[in-house]
Amino acid sequence: MTDRLDTLRRLEALLAERKNADPDTSYVAKLYKKGDRKIAQKVGEEAVEIAMAVAMDDQDGIVGEGADLLFHLMVLLEARGLTLGDIADELARREGLSGLVEKASRPD
């Protein structure tokens, strides 16, 4: 069985490659061409869709919409020059902190 993290690493590499692809032949290249705001809009749409799947107690929908959300988040990260590693680093920084303490430490 393929390591699940390998799947994310391959996707991250593919998303980086698609930055230079033809927007007429690549959905991801088309998103990059439309810019960060359009990609962020897609992330928001997918977040709403997963919330709706949860509200409907649709396990398959949660998985599918979760995949869509993660995919579009990864596109947005790549567009901004960031990676899942950057997100993992932030989660590691927060590890062991109370969520309430961590949230209180953020600037308003």
Question: What are the pLDDT digits (tens) for 49-82?
Answer: 999 999 999 999 999 999 999 999 999 999 999 9
Q: What local confidence, expressed as pLDDT, does residue 100 receive?
A: 72
Q: Is 38 helix (H, G, I), strand (E, B) or coil?
A: helix
Chain Cα centroid distance, residue 18: 16
C-alpha to C-alpha distance for 81 and 106, rounded to whole angstroms: 23
Q: What is the pLDDT of residues 20-42, one digit of tens each?
A: 999 999 999 999 999 999 999 99
Q: What local confidence, expressed as pLDDT, does residue 9 receive?
A: 94
Q: What local confidence, expressed as pLDDT, does residue 102 receive?
A: 65
pTM of the model: 0.87
Q: Which CATH architecture has domain 13-82?
A: Orthogonal Bundle (1.10)
pLDDT above 90 (res 15): yes
Q: What local confidence, expressed as pLDDT, does residue 16 receive?
A: 96
